[in-house]
Amino acid sequence: MTRSVFSRAFLILFLAGSLLPIYWMLNMSLKTNEEILGAMTMWPSNLTFDNYITIFTDEAWYSGYINSMIYVALNMVMAVLLALPAAYAFSRYSFLGDKHLFFWLLTNRMTPPAVFLLPFFQLYSTFGMMDTHIAVALAHLLFNVPLAVWILEGFMSGIPKEIDETAYIDGYTFPKFFVKIFLPLIKSGIGVTAFFCFMFSWVELLLARTLTSVQAKPIAATMTRTVSAAGMDWGVLAAAGVLTIVPGALVIWFVRHYIAKGFAMGRV
């Protein structure tokens, strides 16, 4: 069928195009700075792992990786758990100020985070929470919770209310209904929400760097440290880029079944 041949070709073209800069980044990570700035080569003429060695031998990198993963995981879990009941409320109930509240949530994503730097710094210093993982996880809730609520609400609204009512008639309590019936129906929404919370928290450098110093220093700080006296350390930066993709790729691999699972209503 020409239609599916066309769509296959289109998809492959897009994926290939998407991979090109990634391949380029990998390419750069295996070259020396001189070679990078010297000429355009599709593959390193002098393959070198020096950039990766620099990263792995630098203790700050290793702990930075771990630190980032800790606060990102904390944030992801908190954001989704907080958002689920709120999204359900927005989806099923109308209450005083609900439409305004819903929109207000999104407004928290309407300022460049730079605006929050100083106030956050003061806030967390006052509470003695500087340089902790939880501080960054909490700070990131600012933009992740509204996102989670909006996405989850969208998926929840796609489930007809009659399902809730049928479950109550069948004798389900609310918690049982929510966990056993409702959540499986919005699987793809949860998968995509979890991934986005992970992603936005993982790539956020400014707040993460400002709120931490040693104990909880994330990769963010070390990422921006790649300008040395000799100029920009292109190779190391590229290698760092390659390494930061890995956890995210793992996350999407783990939630792939959630995102791709259909609405299986056959056995209700």
Partner 1 sequence: MARIELAGIAHSYKPNPSQPSDYALRPMEMTWQDGGAYALLGPSGCGKTTLLNIISGLITPSQGKVLFDGRDVTKLPPEQRNIAQVFQFPVIYDTMTVGENLAFPLKNRGWKTADIERRVAQIAEILELSGELKHRASGLTADAKQKISLGRGLVRPDVAAVLFDEPLTVIDPHLKWLLRRKLKEIHHELKLSLIYVTHDQIEALTFADQVVVMTEGEVVQIGSAQALFEAPEHTFVGYFIGNPGMNLLPCSLRGDGVAINGTNIALPVPAGLSVGEGQLTLGIRPEYVECSPNQTENALPARALNARNMGTHWLIEAELGNHRIACKQRALHTVNMGDAVWMKLPAERTLYYLNDRRVA
Partner 2 sequence: MNKTLNNKAWWMVLPVILSVAFSAIMPLMTVVNYSVQDILGPDQAVFVGTEWFKEVMRDESLHSAFFRQIWFSLAVLAIEIPLGIGIALCMPAQGWRASLSLVIVSLPLLIPWNVVGTIWQIFGRGDIGLMGKLINDAGISYNYTGDSTDAWLTVLLMDVWHWTPLVVLLCYAGLRAIPEAFYQAAKIDGASRLAVFRFIQLPKMRNVLMIAVLLRFMDSFMIYTEPFVLTGGGPGNATTFLSQYLTQKAVGQFDLGPAAAFSLIYFLIILLLSFVLYNWMQRVGTGDKT
List the one residue from 163, 183, 206, 252 that touches partner 1 (CB under 8 A).
163
Q: Tell me how far, at minimum, the Cβ of 157 lies from partner 1, in Å.
A: 12
* Site for partner 1, residues 168 to 207, rule: CB under 8 A: 169
Give me the phi and psi of 204, to 5 degrees please.
-75, 115
Pick between residue 41 and residue 213 the one whose CB is nearest to partner 2. Answer: 41
CA 189, CA 176: separation in Å to the nearest integer?
19
> What DSSP designation does 179 have?
I
- In the complex, the smallest distance separating the C-beta of residue 70 from partner 2, rounded to whole angstroms, is 17
Q: Which of partner 2, partner 1, none does residue 179 bind (CB under 5 to 8 Å by kind)? A: none
Q: Which of 5, 59, 96, 230 binds partner 2 (CB under 8 A)?
A: 96
Query: Could you tell which of partner 1, partner 2, none binds residue 268, using a CB distance below 5 to 8 A set by kind?
Result: partner 1
Residue 169 contact partner, candidates partner 1, partner 2, none, CB within 5 to 8 A by sort of partner = partner 1
Of the candidates 153, 262, 137, 155, the residue with the CA atom closest to the CA atom of residue 197: 137
Other CB atoms within 10 A of residue 208 CB: 28
Give the CA distances from residue 19 to residues 12, 26, 62, 172, 234, in Å, rounded to whole numbers and listed in that order.
10, 10, 26, 48, 19
Residue 59 binding partner 1, by CB under 8 A: no
Partner in contact with 59, chosen from partner 2, partner 1, none, beta carbon below 5 to 8 Å by kind: none
The reply to whether 267 sits near partner 2 by the rule CB under 8 A is no
Residues within window 105-144 making contact with partner 2, judged by CB under 8 A: 105-112, 114-116, 118-120, 123, 138-139, 141-142
184's torsion region: left (phi>0), alpha (psi -120 to 50) or beta? alpha
Alpha carbon of 179 to those of 153, 167, 185: distances in Å? 16, 12, 10
Q: Whole-angstrom Cα distance, residue 145 to residue 77?
A: 11
| Partner from partner 1, partner 2, none binding residue 174, C-beta < 5-8 Å depending on class | none
